[in-house]
Structure 1
Amino acid sequence: MSGDFLIKNLSTSAWKTNITVLNGSYYIDTSVCVTRNQAMILLSIIISLVGMGLNAIVLWFLGIRMHTNAFTVYILNLAMADFLYLCSQFVICLLIAFYIFYSIDINIPLVLYVVPIFAYLSGLSILSTISIERCLSVIWPIWYRCKRPRHTSAITCFVLWVMSLLLGLLEGKACGLLFNSFDSYWCETFDVITNIWSVVFFGVLCGSSLTLLVRIFCGSQRIPMTRLYVTITLTVLVFLIFGLPFGIYWILYQWISNFYYVEICNFYLEILFLSCVNSCMNPIIYFLVGSIRHRRFRRKTLKLLLQRAMQDTPEEEQSGNKSSSEHPEELETVQSCS
């Protein structure tokens, strides 16, 4: 994601009334475009606020109040990436809103543009890793349960965070977002690396998710559907619908000449809104999946719903086990090998 891409789309100057020459003709933002931009900015601010609150709840429970396991470590880190992304977009949208509604032109600090790059890449990488792990647990269940290194989740998340941060910082420095040092060659180079990183993880996410679904529904041996599989499937589906357009837009922007200028009525804010919805939806998915077939209404707390969403045991097996039913926090995502 280049600095030019972010500055053109997110700086307050980009939303001033502008006239663009395209193929010898002049185009100007219409009142419809202005109204639409205002609506998208307001919706993005609202969704970002809601999403920050929901992800903060997930971070609170998984980070402090609940026992973590192999899968919840990934969910914790995914919630952190979503929280950072929503925080950065909230601040940026708020500054744009000041200009659109009150004509207060506040220059957005360039360093703030690095955070969405870093958070988006981290979230994509972690979600892809979640899908890969569950795919491996289905294809090689014995190896996964008995031979998988104990701290794989934590180490993997740490590496992904470091790689995403390093890539974001290097691209930000080369593209002029940090230290005001723009280098065209290195900016384009890191744009290519970022695009390759994104495309690879997009492909891995789609491939592993498809493999997982095929093995569950079409495999020779029936694999019982658990809440964990439902949670992963819905999370991936939501990303493909709401989060993927953001990545596609930035790739098109960088590789199609004059892509920005063919947008007569700039639709970037719609893409931004969808990406905010994606980061907001994950906690909602957890709580909805946790509430499915929940019969004991007086104990339906957010903590319990979150625990049930991470449950990797079939419903009938859990209902037959009184001890597990009474203490759902003891259910582990990765079952121990016998």
Structure 2
Amino acid sequence: MERRPPNMTVSPTPEYPGYGSDNSTQIRKGGSSSGSLDFYGWMNILSLLIALLGLVGNGAVLWLLSFRIRRNHFSVYILNLAAADALFLCGSLLKSIVQFNEYSFKFSMRRNLYFLRFMSYAAGLSLLAAISTERCLSALFPIWYRNCRSKHTSAAVCAGLWALAGMFWLLPFVLPNKFSHNFVTFVTILGPWLLLLTCVMGVSSLTLLLRVQCRSRRRRPPRLYLLVLLTVLLFLLCGLPMGVEDFLEIRFNKYLLPYWLYDPLACVNSSVNPLIYFFVGRLGNKRREPLREVLQRALGDEQELGDGTTNTPHTSSPETTL
């Protein structure tokens, strides 16, 4: 959620909620107007650097999954998640640039940039919920999962989630009311959706964790389950505070965390995911390998926890992706 540095004057252009310069905003940014602007500027630079590094990592994942690795139904989700993370980081990068000289950019551009970030945020959360739910089903009902699942399910689910996130993004522009009213309507609709997805992701991940814990005494848990659990845990620690804080501030005018803390955390959430993929892919292998092989190993281990058998990676059945 973008906010002005505390010692800036308010522009005569109408702004959306969260762009004020009152005392509560100054307190949230960490001090008085004399010193908090420098601190806020440094944190803005930190977010910019994190976004740049994250774009490199997600760009590598997008390149490998698009052109170098034959996709399976799980890697389709990771490809779309990397696209959502890259889109969010692009919005964060542009936001950091805009905040250095905010008056040089039109209000409509800053408004569209905000909704673009929230759309990619919602798409990333939706994809994470879909990934954790599918992994949970594959662990609890492995035979049903292998026999009844269509090979185009991943592509269809990703297309539906992107369409839903795009609908949220377009909603304020098609409503006939004033922008400030549409903005509150947008957050009111999006907030319960994010809460529902977080609950689904939390329940499925907890079930998956208990399943892995029960089976780990007999054999090593599959890489995919470890990848899902680490990715979900990272989102809960770094990505979720942004959605919760923006909803509480805009809908109820309540603050829990300062903006300079949770905005860099949201960038960390989207930037560290590629490191998780490559970390999981290198587990148990000390020799140096190309990134393509490491990523393929992380996304190709299709061992199921339910039947005690190890299946071959589904690299021979590519899927259409977005």
Q: Partner residue of 1:86? A: 89
Q: Partner residue of 2:292? A: 303
Task: Give the TM-score of the pair, scaled to structure 1.
Answer: 0.78
Please tell me whether the aligned partners of residues 216 and 223 of structure 1 are also in contact (alpha carbons under 8 angstroms): no
Letter in 1 for 2:295: L
Could you give the per-residue CA deviations for residues 260-283 of structure 1, whole angstroms, max 9, x where no partner exists?
6xx9xx921321111000000000
* Residues 1:269 and 2:265 are matched in the alignment: no
Q: Partner residue of 2:17? A: none
Alignment match of 1:66 (pick from 58, 66, 69): 69
* Residues 1:115 and 2:97 are matched in the alignment: no
* Residues 1:202 and 2:198 are matched in the alignment: yes
Letter in 2 for 1:136: L
Q: 1:28 to 1:106 in 2, by over 3 A?
A: farther
Mapped partners of 2:295, 2:215: distance in 1: 29
Q: Partner residue of 2:151? A: 150
Mapped partners of 1:61, 1:304: distance in 2: 10
Q: Partner residue of 1:53? A: 56
Alignment match of 1:16 (pick from 5, 8, 13): 8
Q: Give identity over the alignment, percent.
A: 37
RMSD: 3.0
Mapped partners of 2:216, 2:93: distance in 1: 48
Q: Partner residue of 1:291? A: 282
Mapped partners of 1:88, 1:233: distance in 2: 26
Q: Partner residue of 1:182? A: 179
Mapped partners of 2:56, 2:216: distance in 1: 43
Please tell me whether the aligned partners of residues 6 and 37 of structure 2 are also in contact (alpha carbons under 8 angstroms): no
Alignment match of 2:41 (pick from 34, 38, 46): 38
SS at the partner of 2:22?
Answer: strand
Q: 1:296 to 1:194 in 2, by over 3 A?
A: same
* Residues 1:282 and 2:273 are matched in the alignment: yes
- 1:122-271 equivalent positions in 2, closer than 5 A: 122-174=123-175, 181-182=178-179, 184=181, 186-218=182-214, 224-257=220-253, 259=254, 267-271=258-262
Q: 1:42 to 1:216 in 2, by over 3 A?
A: same
Mapped partners of 2:35, 2:284: distance in 1: 45
Mapped partners of 1:49, 1:172: distance in 2: 30
Where in structure 1 are there 5+ consecutive unaligned residues?
1-5, 315-320, 325-329
Please tell me whether the aligned partners of residues 114 and 172 of structure 1 are also in contact (alpha carbons under 8 angstroms): no
Letter in 2 for 1:64: F
Q: 1:172 to 1:88 in 2, by over 3 A?
A: farther
Mapped partners of 1:241, 1:172: distance in 2: 32
SS at the partner of 1:293?
Answer: coil
Where in structure 2 are there 5+ consecutive unaligned residues?
11-20, 25-29, 304-309, 318-322
